Structure 1
Amino acid sequence: MWNLSGDSQAGGDLQLQQQQEEQREQELASSFWADVLQGGGTMMKHTTNSRGSALRILDEVLENSQRRHKNMVLAIQREMVDLHLPVVETTAGRHINQDLTNLRDQLQAELAQTRKEIREAQEKHDEETARYLKGIEQDFRLKLQTSEAENQELRLSLEEVYRKMEEKVVKALEQMNTETKAAIEAKEDELRDMESSTLYIAEEVRKAQRAAEQRADLQESERKKKEMQEMKAEYEKMLRDMKAEIAALKLNKEKKESTGKKVLSSLASGTASGLASGIASAVLPGKLSFFDNLMGSPFA
Structure 2
Amino acid sequence: MGVTGTGKSSFIADCIGKPVDDQMIGHGLRSRKLHTNAPLILAYSTPGTGRVAVYTLKYNDHTVRLIDTPGFDDTSLSDTDVLTAVAQCFHETYSVDIKLSGIIYIHRISDPRMTGNALKNLEMFKKMCGEESLECVVLATTMWDSVAQRLGNAREEELVSEPLFWGSMKLLGSMVERLSGDKGTEARHNSAMNIVQKIVLKKKKIVLDIQREMVDDHKPLAETSAGQELDKGLREAKLKHQKELKSIQDSMKKADAKTRSLLEDHEKHYQEKLTRLDKDQEILNMSIAEMYKQKEEQLREIIQMKKDQEHQAQQLEARIKRRESELESQYHNQKQAFEKERSEMKASTKAQQEKILQQDANMAKKLQKLENEHAQELRELRAQAQMSQLNNAPASGSAGGALGSFILPMVMVAMIAGGMGGLGGLGS
Both structures adopt the same fold (TM-score exceeding 0.5): no
Higher strand share: 2
Return the structure number with greater relative CO, CA threshold 8 A, min gap 6: 1
Between structure 1 and structure 2, the one with the greater Rg is 2
Higher helix share: 1
Normalising by structure 1, report the TM-score.
Answer: 0.33
